[in-house]
Amino acid sequence: MHSKYKKSIIKEQGADIQAELQKVFDSGCIQNAKGVVSMKSSSTAELPPASKFAVKQESAKNPGKFRYWFFDGRVGYMDGGTFKFLSGKWSPQSCFSQVKKQQSDKDVSLTKQEGGWKKREDINDTQSNIDNPQMYDKKTLPGGEVLYREKFVGGITSGLTQNQQIVIQKWKDKGYKLKSELNPEEIKGWVSILVSPKSEGIFSEDLVMYQNPGAVKADDISKAFNNAMQLQTLNKKTCKANIEAFYLAWKKNMKFEPSIHGPMKNLVQTCSDQFDFKGLFDKTDNYIEVLTGRIEGGPPQGSQWRLND
């Protein structure tokens, strides 16, 4: 019984070590690593838990040659037919710390880029001014790094993700600028607009952009607004036909490519939102009731046929 219990403990230790080495591999702190591998002994004796698994690393200079990083800090390699160990040792914990620092440095860099935040040493101002909440905002990152930003010129300064860049560029094409691109006098005089609130989840804070009031022409605004309205104004008779076609296609479980189904669904949704079909001597209103789930028997939540209520 004692022998079986001891073997069980060894197996558990081996599994834990394998899992820890997998974390090391996943962290990427051992460059050119190929994965966690099982090690074999040339003798019949069972390997101790710390020697059963290792992170296998291929040499960048000599492809086809490998080193093996063990959880107890040893690093070994095959020399001819003999397995040898290097004199130095490594620490899995230091490996994690290295990755954590790299991630922290990256977070600082991206936060500075997106929101115009700076480290204390990069700000040429007195400490009393920096400590004044009327003059500076303060942000503490998860890694403990503290950043500062002038309150007067604070805001999104750059897009990091593709979606962020698309939103900013779309508004720049219309003549708008980011707050960081204006001087203090322009900030007070230019017209601001909330482009993307934080609640949308695109930016880490509200994205506000600015336009020179001298460049704003009332006629251009009116034309653009009216053109947009015309594109979204539909014919009620046509809408009835579209809603019925969409309903019948759902009932018959017909299949369409996304490029066909998607625009049609958007069109039917717009029709449903714009018109009231009650009182008509047809079933249009009933179709909408079913497709939106207001009455039972329609498409379930998440279905491509389900309309918004």
pLDDT tens column, 129-156 = 999 999 999 999 887 889 999 988 888 9
Close Cβ partners of 108 (under 8 Å, ≥ 6 residues apart): 119, 141, 143, 145, 147
Closest-CA residue to 122 (of 150, 95, 85): 150
The answer to whether the beta carbons of residues 56 and 66 sit under 8 Å apart is: yes
Distance separating alpha carbons of residues 55 and 18, to the nearest angstrom: 9
pLDDT digits (tens, 9 = 90+) for 221-259: 677 677 667 766 788 888 888 899 999 999 998 988 877
Task: Tell me the DSSP string of 33-62.
Answer: EEEEEE---SSSSPPPHHHHEEEEEE-SSS
Largest CA distance in the chain: 91
> At 25, is the secondary structure helix, strand, or coil?
helix
Distance separating alpha carbons of residues 207 and 43, to the nearest angstrom: 66
pLDDT digits (tens, 9 = 90+) for 35-55: 999 888 765 556 777 788 999
1 pLDDT higher than 70? no
Calculate mean pLDDT across residues 168-187: 90
What's the pLDDT score for residue 220? Answer: 67
15 pLDDT higher than 70? no
Q: Which residue has the higher pLDDT, 103 or 132?
A: 132
pLDDT digits (tens, 9 = 90+) for 264-302: 888 889 888 888 887 656 688 899 999 999 988 999 988
What's the pLDDT score for residue 98? Answer: 80
68 pLDDT higher than 90? yes
